[in-house]
């Protein structure tokens, strides 16, 4: 099916592009579904559960970007009892104490 693009006006061309992108997305979903079915059939033929192969929904370790449980605190402010895990941006109390000459090891939790 050949379409003469030069004969289309702006609105027709925009509509054609939108329909082509929608069709492209449909084809991608169909491809993923077919591949998923093939993998499922192969795993089932081997007598193994999908969870055993892929480790469930989160995977065996969670992976990058997984938001899991909390991390134990590593530092404690002796004045207020506030804690910090040592991850992410430093809390104000920690940064202020370092600026005042304290050392990180002064706030370590046993």
Q: What is the pLDDT of residues 30-71, one digit of tens each?
A: 999 999 999 989 998 998 888 888 876 554 455 555 566 788
Q: Is residue 39 part of a domain?
A: yes
pLDDT, residue 21, reads 96
pLDDT, residue 110, reads 77
For 73-83, what is the mean pLDDT? Answer: 92
Please tell me the distance from the alpha carbon of residue 97 to that of residue 108, in angstroms, as a whole number: 13
Helix, strand, or coil here: 15? Answer: helix
Q: Is residue 2 part of a domain?
A: no
pTM of the model: 0.43
Alpha carbon 51 to its chain centroid, in Å, reads 20
CATH number of the domain at 92, please. Answer: 4.10.430
pLDDT > 90 fraction of the chain, expressed in percent and rounded: 64
Please tell me the distance from the alpha carbon of residue 108 to that of residue 83, in angstroms, as a whole number: 10
Q: Is residue 47 part of a domain?
A: yes
Q: What residue numbers bound the domain in which 91 lies? A: 75-107
């Amino acid at each position: 099916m050949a379409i003469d693009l030069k004969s289309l006006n702006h609105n027709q061309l925009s509509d054609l592009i939108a329909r082509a992108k929608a069709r492209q997305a449909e084809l991608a979903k169909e491809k993923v579904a077919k591949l998923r079915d093939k993998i499922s059939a192969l795993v089932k033929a081997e007598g193994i559960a999908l969870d055993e192969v892929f480790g469930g929904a989160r995977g065996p370790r969670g992976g990058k970007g997984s938001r899991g449980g909390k991390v134990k605190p590593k530092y404690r402010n002796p004045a207020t009892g506030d804690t910090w895990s040592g991850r992410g941006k430093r809390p104000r109390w920690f940064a202020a104490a370092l600026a005042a000459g304290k050392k990180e090891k002064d706030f370590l939790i046993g």
